[in-house]
Amino acid sequence: MESPTEKNIDYIDLYDYWKVIVKRKTLIISIFLIAVISTAIISQLMPKVYKGTYIVKVPTKDSSLKELPMKEEVKGFNIDEVFGIIGKLDRESLKNILPKTGHLAAAIKVVAMAGSTDKIQLLIDACRADDVPLIASEFAEYLNNSYLIKNYVEQEKKMLTERSEELSVVIQNSAEMVKTYERLFKNGSLTAFGINPVEVNKSMSDLKHDKIMIDRALRDLKGAVIVGQPYVAAAAMSPKKLMALAAVCSLFFGILLAFIMEHKMNLKGRIS
């Protein structure tokens, strides 16, 4: 339990602190007003920065068309090779990567997505929100014009087209064969021994399904594409938040400076 004397000492200390604040109130208020007014002016002059986040899917080995009934193995490439295409995104390289929109970007960063082997994250800073999708679109165009991805798309297109044509021929020949069997059955020229109509129909159905898958893959064949819903938002802190932060910091700094000045004055008084 504290004694009355201890309580009185605490009270006197707090009161002394308050006297210092009152004594230096002009300094504290001046620092406060200068900080708040300066922040208000700077926040109005400072341009807003808009941040855009895009997910770009690239045709790597793990995302290639493995499920399709292809004769040859579908070839892709590693995500590291994609970063090799991009290289270092400094101001000078942006002129080559983004000749149309590079000057609109304040900063661009590309990072690999955690847990994904075929997606990268494109982070864009721009002074106008409308410029962000333009920058993202030209970036995807740059990737697709690179030799690595362009060559991949051309090879895939050729491979899928050849496979689709082969299946078309097989389906047509099979359909004609089935008609021939049916005609021979009706004429009694061929027995049904060794031929299961159900299996024949199932094989035809499987071939048609494979053809549909190939044609769909051919239609949807692309290189680097932006997937998902892009996210664009203002990254700059609002003027109200900046002013509130400036007010708190300036008050703290003003009070701290007041105590330092008071402490130095007391030391000079003791020395003299």
Instruction: Please write the tens of the pLDDT for every residue from 194-252.
Output: 555 566 677 778 888 888 888 887 887 788 888 877 777 765 556 677 778 888 998 89
The pLDDT-based confidence of 7 (bands split at 50, 70, 90) is: very low
Contact, 236 vs 42, CB < 8 A? no
Which residue, 60, 51, 52, 220, is CA-closest to 143? 60
Lowest-confidence segment of 89-103, 118-132, 167-181 by average pLDDT: 167-181
Residue-level pLDDT at 56: 87
Strands (E) across the chain are located at 50-57, 105-112, 119-126, 225-234
**Taking the domains of the chain in order of start, what are their residue ranges?**
4-46+236-271, 50-234
> 74-89, pLDDT tens digit by residue?
556 667 777 777 777 7
- Whether domain 50-234 has CATH 3.30.70.1130: yes
Instruction: Give the whole-angstrom CA distance, residue 101 versus residue 141.
Output: 12
The DSSP output letter for 102 is G
pTM: 0.56
What rounded mean pLDDT belongs to the chain? 76
In the block, which residue shows the tokens 């399709």? Answer: 68
Residue-level pLDDT at 5: 47
The pLDDT-based confidence of 272 (bands split at 50, 70, 90) is: low
Lowest-confidence segment of 55-59, 68-72, 163-167, 199-203 by average pLDDT: 68-72
The pLDDT-based confidence of 114 (bands split at 50, 70, 90) is: confident
**91 or 256, higher pLDDT:** 256
Residue-level pLDDT at 9: 46
**140 or 189, higher pLDDT:** 140
Percent of the chain with pLDDT over 90: 1
* Ramachandran sector of residue 15 (left: φ over 0; alpha: ψ -120 to 50; beta: rest): alpha
Give me the amino acid identity at 208.
Answer: K
Lowest-confidence segment of 7-16, 22-31, 51-60 by average pLDDT: 7-16
Which residue, 96, 77, 90, 69, is CA-closest to 207? 69
